Chains A and B, each alone.
Chain A
Amino acid sequence: MRAFTQHQGLVAPMDRSNVDTDMIIPKQFLKSIKRTGFGPNLFDELRYLDEGKPDQDSSQRPLNPDFVLNQPRYKGASVLLARSNFGCGSSREHAPWALDDYGFRVIIAPSFADIFYNNCFKNGLLPIVLEEKIVDQLFEEAEVSEGYQLTVDLEAKTVITPSGESFGFDVDDFRRHCLLNGLDDIGVTLEDAELIKSYENQRRKTAPWLFGAGQ
């Protein structure tokens, strides 16, 4: 996995709560058996005026000029500023894959849906929870000043504004450790293979019905 230590990038404010994973990447694009190539279809139904289809050249499609990512000032944004309950709905990891493929590295919101939040960390994408009033402030600043950038430091767990104001955020230690070092967490778990085997052997004795019954 790609490591994440520090990132500075242009902020795109998406002023809408309860953005669900169907909105982030509609179902017709989930038919791919790959992990890449979802970027052109990120927010497909909001971004384009027509109905998107898999394997289509999206550069030729009519854009919705009202959608935030279609505004020239947000071109190249890598920090998504969002509202509460971002990523609710389906468990599809295609949602973080699409955000990543588009070029986002950080998502800041007052709250995230659990499965989406977890999926981000598996893909080198950092979801940051900040208090609602701080998020409100960042929305205001991003909207008034064109080219507004934020700097995110995962080591220090801070978000720094262009004026130098710094906001701390929480992230659990294991996820932070994996992200900072770009670790393959399957590899980390397999370091405990002997423990898993001994747990399993114990369970085979105490709960034999969990193993192979009926198959």
Chain B
Amino acid sequence: MAGKTLYDKLWDDHVVKQREDGSALIYIDRQLLHEVTSPQAFEGLRLANRKPWRIDANLATPDHNVPTTDRAKGIEGIVDPVSRIQVETLGKNCDEFGILEFKIMDQRQGIVHVIGPEQGATLPGMTIVCGDSHTSTHGAFGCLAHGIGTSEVEHVLATQCLVQQKMKNMLVKVNGTLGKGVTAKDVVLAIIGKIGTAGGTGHAIEFGGEAIQNMSMEGRMTVCNMAIEAGARVGMVAVDGTTIDYVKGRPFAPTGEAWDAAVKYWRTLHSDLDAKFDKIVELDGSEIMPQVSWGTSPEMVADVTGNVPDPAKEEDPIKREGIERALKYMGLEANQAITDIKLDRVFIGSCTNSRIEDLREAAAVVKGRKVSASLKQAMVVPGSGLVKAQAEEEGLDRIFLEAGLEWRDPGCSMCLAMNADKLGQGEHCASTSNRNFEGRQGFGGRTHLVSPAMAAAAAITGHFVDVRELLN
């Protein structure tokens, strides 16, 4: 019998019941909650007169609607009354059911996918869900983590389980060593560019290979975060020493004997050498260049040294039409050099790229330089209150402010523009977020996905530039 993949192991360890119809009842160890996708779930519980199954499996924080300025005012600082009600509703629900919530004034508040790992609430081997598709982030810890809809949020609250069909196994192997100035974000954008936004549909992706093994936990989180942009609900990386070192000493992490027992188990969380994958894709990490998305889907990416594609050269009529539509929306010309794309705003933040290493990477580029006068705005939004404090301790805030970038309070911010941070119509933004869909960052806004280093470099020049030129 062939060995097991990491996904097989995580699945097997969480099956409560295998049903004859092929579905299985899977136990959920951790649910993360935020204000946008939970209110209807709590309301459903109340209407059915049900209680949460296991209170201590849940952790909540408001992130999508929170303002990134004037935070001293707390909830009162949320100008949009509809946003305010949503944040208040999360608070009331958590209070009513006794669920731990890092509220807006708590220093531990932040983007759910940043605070879970930061607190050690994300532990290797867990099943983790959240009403947010970027829950795949937590797979970086050798977790089975994926986004769910609100009905399933309610289902997990009420039963601590989900009814699931097992997915197929896919391995994405990034061999070799990454070049200077090439980051985890470039790796994942290159992967999506290669396999497409539906390349991982129906599969759980395990990311492996030398380039992934050499990444820090934060880099691995960036890669797993965008598994969903390749169509896979689940992205994962095997547990190794890097994982265990990262988890150790965090507030929710075990200690003493429990720690030793946990580590022993966690060390088994990797695919067996003879494990069988349904699909394998390999990339050469040394060939990956800094990436820039030019279109309205995360698969529409190019090397920074490259050009916007020419739809006339595309043979597939559906793809050709997709490229034409994207170029029209983005206001770009076929064959235009990527470095000729001029920018209006720069956004450094989101659950993809708002951790301390992302901020260090951006600060290293802007240090001693000035933001281009041609930009309307360049902002840095840390992923949590603790990331913000750490950055300030390291003096990164001063580097950003001196260069002319805004230094904001934590939240999802301009990644999806549910709060006040958004693009104006037709504006181009170099963004470290995860989706460049039409209107994602504001009505008519034009998003270009890049790494924090590339966003920082673009802030200095006012157009895209190969960050490697600024690092020399």
A contact residues vs B (CB 8 Å cutoff): 16-18, 20, 22-23, 26-28, 30-35, 45, 51, 54-55, 83-85, 88-93, 96, 111, 113-115, 118-119, 122-123, 172-174, 177, 184-186, 188-190, 192-193, 195-196, 199-200, 203, 207-215
B149 & A122 in contact (Cβ 8 Å cutoff): yes
Instruction: List residues of chain A with CB within 8 A of the CB of B23.
Output: 172-174
Instruction: List residues of chain A with CB within 8 A of the CB of B435.
Output: 20, 22, 89-90
Please pick, from B151, B202, B417, the residue contacting A93 in the complex, using a CB distance under 8 A.
B151
Q: Is B170 in contact with chain A by the CB < 8 A criterion? A: no
Most buried by B among A85, A96, A214: A214
B50 & A209 in contact (Cβ 8 Å cutoff): no
Taking CB atoms and an 8 Å cut-off, the chain B residues in 153-178 that contact chain A are 154-155, 158-161, 163, 165, 167
Instruction: List residues of chain B with CB within 8 A of the CB of A209.
Output: 123, 253-254, 258-259, 261-262
Cα–Cα, bound, A35→B258 (Å): 42
CB proximity of B73 to chain A, nearest CB, Å: 19
Instruction: List residues of chain A with CB within 8 A of the CB of B135.
Output: 91
Please pick, from B22, B231, B439, the residue contacting A88 in the complex, using a CB distance under 8 A.
B231
A-B contact pairs, 10 of them (CB 8 A): A20-B435, A27-B440, A33-B40, A93-B149, A93-B150, A114-B231, A115-B149, A185-B155, A210-B123, A214-B250
Cα–Cα, bound, A188→B165 (Å): 16
Q: A33-B40, A91-B37 are in contact. Are A200 and B21 (CB under 8 A)?
A: no
Q: How many A-B residue pairs have CB under 8 A?
A: 201
Instruction: List residues of chain A with CB within 8 A of the CB of B133.
Output: 89-91, 115
Instruction: List residues of chain A with CB within 8 A of the CB of B91.
Output: none
CB proximity of A13 to chain B, nearest CB, Å: 14
Q: Is B418 in contact with chain A by the CB < 8 A criterion? A: yes
Q: Is B243 in contact with chain A by the CB < 8 A criterion? A: no
Q: Is B451 in contact with chain A by the CB < 8 A criterion? A: no
A213 & B437 in contact (Cβ 8 Å cutoff): no
Instruction: List residues of chain B with CB within 8 A of the CB of A203.
Output: 27
A27 & B417 in contact (Cβ 8 Å cutoff): yes
B262 & A22 in contact (Cβ 8 Å cutoff): no
Most buried by B among A30, A189, A196: A189
A30 & B36 in contact (Cβ 8 Å cutoff): yes
Taking CB atoms and an 8 Å cut-off, the chain B residues in 326-379 that contact chain A are none
B86 & A186 in contact (Cβ 8 Å cutoff): no
Cα–Cα, bound, A31→B297 (Å): 24
Most buried by A among B16, B53, B56: B16
Please pick, from B21, B37, B202, B252, the residue contacting A174 in the complex, using a CB distance under 8 A.
B21
Q: A45-B438, A196-B27, A200-B27 are in contact. Are A54 and B151 (CB under 8 A)?
A: no
Instruction: List residues of chain B with CB within 8 A of the CB of A93.
Output: 37, 40, 131, 149-151
Cα–Cα, bound, A45→B135 (Å): 27
Cα–Cα, bound, A51→B444 (Å): 9
B56 & A211 in contact (Cβ 8 Å cutoff): yes
Please pick, from B43, B152, B202, the residue contacting A33 in the complex, using a CB distance under 8 A.
B43
CB proximity of B160 to chain A, nearest CB, Å: 6
A119 & B151 in contact (Cβ 8 Å cutoff): yes
B19 & A174 in contact (Cβ 8 Å cutoff): yes
